[in-house]
Amino acid sequence: MKLFQIEEPDGSPTDSDAPGAAIGVDLGGLAAEVAMSVGGNAATLEDRDGFALDLSLPRAGAGLREWTELFEGVRLRAERALARPVTHAVVALADAALAETVARAAAAAGIEVLRVIGRGESPAAEAAMLAEDLAPRPEVR
């Protein structure tokens, strides 16, 4: 039996303390929309066939638990689509009164909210492009 070792191109393992991807999340419709931007080009992230997640927004007056479950789904969709960890987000909200609850729920799901913005014409894409700009960068050694 032969064993193979897979390494990063420079020979060192991936830094587990490095920040993950930053995404944009639109919470202004009936369901959350998730997007990612690279080089200022944003794309909506979708589930693969057979692995659809229900990202319906919690009902009015929902508590932290329901919002956390939504962000766990948002994170899962993004990590499946990107095949890498997601640690940061910019969130587009229609109701600014939800900003604190949303930030706490995202944190409970392992996502740091970089900023909460109002909704524009393409809120998920706009949030994703801003997330790309605000995302922490890995340290260069």
Q: What is the pLDDT of residues 97-118, one digit of tens each?
A: 999 999 999 999 999 999 999 9
d(CA 82, CA 3): 28
**Is residue 2 included in any domain, yes or no?**
no
**Is residue 5 included in any domain, yes or no?**
no
**Is residue 4 included in any domain, yes or no?**
no
Record the pTM: 0.82
**Is residue 109 included in any domain, yes or no?**
yes
32-80: pLDDT as tens digits: 999 999 998 999 999 989 899 999 999 988 999 999 999 999 999 999 9
> Which of 108-140 are b and which e, b meaning 16 or more Cβ less than 10 Å from the residue's Cβ?
ebebebbbbbebeebbbbbbbbbbbeebeeeee
Structure tokens at 61: 């007056």
Q: What single-letter amino acid sits at 81?
A: A
CATH number of the domain encompassing residue 121: 3.30.420.40
Helical (H) or strand (E) element with 34: strand 33-38
**Is residue 128 included in any domain, yes or no?**
yes
- Domain count for the chain, please give it: 1
Domain range enclosing 122: 21-134
